[in-house]
């Protein structure tokens, strides 16, 4: 038996569920996704759920299928410990990335997240540019990002590191902790109250699994040693899962990502690089390319040092990546429409009555 409020249920979800409830369905939250099976928590308990053929058929993309953190409308069979999923309630936030492979397709990593913990290792894996990339994606998700500098026990210049990440995005909290010595873990509690959902993001070897074990109070995640020469590790987490913390908070763990492919992060880019875009807005020309134009605030900032050149290069790189993704998405959409048209024409020709 589960109290829905303790799982993150609120008045907004209640409003979104009224139509489903009127049709006789109940609601549950997806806590585990593994291949085509889902584990959900409902008022009647823990159930193994499958999506109906209609839901699968009507899903045009992977993003329209259930993801960990989703609230779903179900038909429950408590005696059999199973359920069927008949719909997904609107997501109030989502963390998306470009799915692996050549196709330009959105993949939902976590849904209905309140806070995104960006976990960074303070060893050889530390990289400010990678933090910027994660912040862009975190802002785009609709959740509030918090930077967690892990492995404090391996760092001799924590003040400098905190200053560096503090300059990346105004107002984003940053906490230095050690999941090995438990130093600083109490700073994270303010983001993990009852019914609040957090997601852990970070590259392999950042120490997410060890940190999760500390927060839960037992070893629920497998931990592997990282390589000494580059502080990278194998992907310890192999699936997405929502876990309930002793504090009453909810935690979504995700597979470690060596390279995070962004997905539709224009607004996230603006929030993560507010300083750069605010400076660009001061250029004399609205269409300034920030090269040799007179009155270019970006060029002046780079020359005076008020704008860090590495940060500006990172901004340009991410902006080009998003522009390429948008162009590629449009191209794929045209190809998919062309393929559908060909299939319709072939089907019509087969059904068309032959003359005489």
Q: For 244-291, write each residue's pLDDT tens digit.
A: 998 899 998 766 434 445 555 556 687 778 888 889 999 999 889 898
Give CB contacts under 8 A, 24+ apart, made by 40-43.
40/72, 40/74, 40/83, 40/85, 41/2, 41/7, 42/2, 42/74, 42/76, 42/83, 43/1, 43/2, 43/3, 43/4
pLDDT in tens, 60-108: 888 889 999 999 999 999 999 999 999 999 999 988 766 665 566 677 8
- The residue ranking higher by pLDDT, 333 or 249, is 249
pLDDT category of residue 235 using cuts at 50, 70 and 90: very low
User: What CATH architecture does domain 4-88 belong to?
Assistant: Beta Barrel (2.40)
pLDDT at 25 > cutoff 90: yes
Q: What is the location of CATH 2.40.50.140 in the chain?
A: 4-88
**pLDDT confidence of residue 353:** 54
Longest dimension (CA), the chain: 89
Residue 226: half-sphere exposure toward Cβ, Cα within 13 Å? 21
Average pLDDT over residues 183-193: 91
| Fold designation for 94-253 | Rossmann fold (3.40.50)
- What rounded mean pLDDT belongs to the chain? 82
The DSSP string of 76-144 is: EEGGGTEEEEEEEPPPS-EEEEEPSSSS--EEEEEES-SEEEEEEESSTT--HHHHHHHHHHHHHHTSE
Q: What is the location of CATH 3.40.50.300 in the chain?
A: 94-253
Q: Estimate the crossing angle of helix 128-141 against helix 158-166, to 10 degrees.
A: 40
Terminal-to-terminal C-alpha distance of the chain:
69
Q: Looking at the whole model, is its pTM more than 0.85? A: no
**pLDDT confidence of residue 83:** 97
DSSP secondary-structure letter at 45? E
């Amino acid at each position: 038996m589960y109290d829905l409020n303790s799982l993150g249920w609120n008045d907004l979800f209640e409003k979104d569920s009224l139509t489903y409830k009127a049709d006789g369905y109940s609601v549950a939250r997806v806590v585990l996704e593994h291949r085509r099976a889902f584990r959900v928590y409902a008022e009647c308990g823990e159930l193994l759920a499958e999506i109906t053929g209609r839901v699968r058929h009507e899903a045009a993309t992977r993003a329209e299928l259930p993801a960990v953190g989703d609230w779903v409308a179900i038909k429950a069979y408590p005696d059999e410990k199973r359920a069927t999923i008949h719909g997904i309630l609107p997501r109030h936030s989502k963390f998306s990335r470009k799915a692996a492979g050549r196709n330009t397709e959105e993949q939902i990593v976590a849904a209905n997240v309140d806070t995104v913990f960006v976990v960074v290792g303070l060893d050889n894996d530390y990289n400010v540019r990678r933090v910027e990339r994660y912040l862009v994606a975190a802002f785009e998700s609709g959740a509030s990002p918090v930077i967690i500098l892990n492995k404090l026990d391996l760092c001799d210049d924590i003040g400098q590191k905190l200053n560096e990440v503090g300059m990346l995005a105004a107002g984003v909290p940053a906490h230095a902790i050690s999941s090995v010595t438990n130093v600083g873990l109490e700073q994270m509690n303010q983001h993990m109250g009852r019914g609040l959902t957090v997601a852990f993001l970070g590259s392999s070897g950042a120490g997410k699994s060890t940190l999760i074990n500390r927060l839960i109070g037992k070893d629920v995640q497998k931990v592997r040693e990282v390589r000494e020469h580059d502080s990278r590790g194998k992907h310890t987490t192999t699936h997405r899962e929502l876990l309930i913390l002793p504090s009453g908070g909810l935690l979504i763990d995700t597979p470690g990502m060596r390279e995070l492919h962004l997905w539709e992060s224009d607004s996230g880019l603006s929030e993560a690089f507010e300083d750069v875009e605010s400076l660009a807005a001061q250029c004399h020309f609205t269409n300034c390319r920030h090269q040799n134009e007179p009155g270019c605030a970006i060029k002046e900032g780079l020359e005076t040092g008020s704008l860090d050149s590495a940060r500006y290069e990172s901004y340009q790189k991410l902006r080009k990546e998003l522009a390429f993704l948008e162009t590629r998405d449009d191209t794929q959409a045209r190809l998919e429409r062309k393929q559908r048209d060909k299939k319709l024409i072939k089907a019509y020709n087969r059904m068309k009555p032959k003359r005489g």
